[in-house]
Amino acid sequence: MPNPSKPAKGCPLCGRPTSPEHAPFCSRGCKDRDLLQWLGEGYRIPGPPADPGLDRPEDDR
């Protein structure tokens, strides 16, 4: 039984009702679009700038 004090939330991408199979999204398409945003660095988590030295491999000298 739905809880009337908690309104049902829609898909975070398109707003349609969510599907239990793809929660919190409505479909595989929205789920995949969200994943592609993360993989393509479309979403970013705020934080301090990264140390530029972390991306370079260590010298084996």
Q: Which residue has the tokens 């994943």?
A: 35
- Kindly write down the DSSP assignment for every residue of the chain, as one continuous string: ---TTSPPPB-TTT-PBP-GGGTTSSSHHHHHHHHHHHHTT-S----SPPPGGGGSPPP--
- Which residue numbers belong to the known binding site? 11, 14, 26, 30
Using 50, 70 and 90 to split pLDDT, how confident is the model at 61? Answer: very low
The C-alpha atoms of residue 6 and residue 14 are separated, in whole angstroms, by: 20
Q: Domain residue spans in the chain? A: 11-42
| Cβ–Cβ under 8 Å, residues 25 and 11 | yes
pTM listed for this prediction: 0.61
For 3-24, how does the pLDDT look when each residue is reduced to its tens digit (9 = 90+)?
A: 556 666 899 999 999 999 999 9
- Which residue numbers belong to the known binding site for Zn(2+)? 11, 14, 26, 30
